[in-house]
Amino acid sequence: MIKPIGSNELQPRFVYDVAEHDKLSKEAESLPSVVISSQAAGNAVMMGAGYFNPLKGYMNVADAMGAAEKMTLTDGSFFPVPVMCLLESVDAIKDAKRIALRDPNVEGQPVLAVMDVEAIEEVSDAQMKTMTQKVYRTEDMEHPGVAAFNSQGRFAVSGPIQVLNFSYFLDEFPDTFRTAVEIRNEITERGWNKVVAFQTRNPMHLAHEELCHMAMERLGCDGLVIHMLLGKLKPGDIPAPVRDAAIRKMVELYFPPNSAMVTGYGFDMLYAGPREAVLHAYFRQNMGASYFIVGRDHAGVGDYYGAFDAQTIFEEEVPKGALEIEIFMADHTAWSKKLNKVVMMREAPDHTKEDFILLSGTKVREMLGNGEAPPPEFSRPEVAKILIDYYQSL
């Protein structure tokens, strides 16, 4: 299996030893504490689960700037985005060397992690501007990722962490949330040798399903990990439990036994387009995938990114040798009326737009809300049924 990034074995920051976990939990209750942002909580979960291997904690400003400007930390290691714990106020933890980080997303705000504080720095407006521009390629506060990043505060608290739980993800998605460690173990148990990963924050329509089949066939893979985002999305996106049910139904009916695994990870969507595509590849390598599908406008939002910027970044900006995982670069897929099957649009040069069955997201939502299934060339009827039930319940 492909090696994790930066080490021979994963080094998750979750405290697995029961006695140590109990001891740390007790200690945490007496430590100075602070409620962190949802984005920082997602970062803790990803470090705890091994996805951000070999990162041991939140970055200081120099490392965060290095990640933003050139995807390289001060020690020369690779990381594609800043991983920060930004706070509006540090009054409660001033001068503390060890603190408890509390979860903003769980009732009662329990301790999520314990941190050894190495630095508390105030981030300048210029530094925030640079990081925002480099990661998101815009400073427009209408961009949901830009708004979330810039609304956390200006005090960066950095240092290694020990993670005590996986926030709400394990309780709310017990059948789907998996750590990178667990996914690696399951790949081994299933006997898969070559694995391709597919990222989604939406239900999968027929075109997505066929894209996965295409990638598996062309790459010679015996396993597919459908890896869905379970964290916070922008308003209007379909909730994770509905997506989960729709995807599981599709896999059950339209994939051979032991060929696809449905899993999820706990992280808030950045909508950072190209830079987030690199982050997605980073943690897919850590979870054991040899290949990762990157399609048109991957992880984008609105019109902030070009259709294939999330593909060209791997060739033009990612430092050579930083990633071992290989990218399967996909075009938009759709049903061809001429060929009577789903194809990648770039592989049908003799087609015009009218030769494909194309429906906008708005049109699909309108149909589902009216109890009307999209055509079977667009969506499997069993998947459409689950989505119709959701939209009609609103």
Active site residues: 201-202
CA distance 65 to 84: 11
Strand partners, 57: 160
Provide CB contacts within 8 A for 32, sequence distance 6+: 92, 93, 96, 99, 100
Q: Which two tokens mark 312? A: 């060209």
**Is 330 within 8 Å of 298 (Cβ atoms)?**
no
Other residues' Cβ atoms within 10 Å of the Cβ of residue 184: 22
Which residue from 91, 94, 155, 146 is spatially nearest to 124, judged by alpha carbons?
A: 155
Other residues' Cβ atoms within 10 Å of the Cβ of residue 1: 13
Strand partners, 234: none
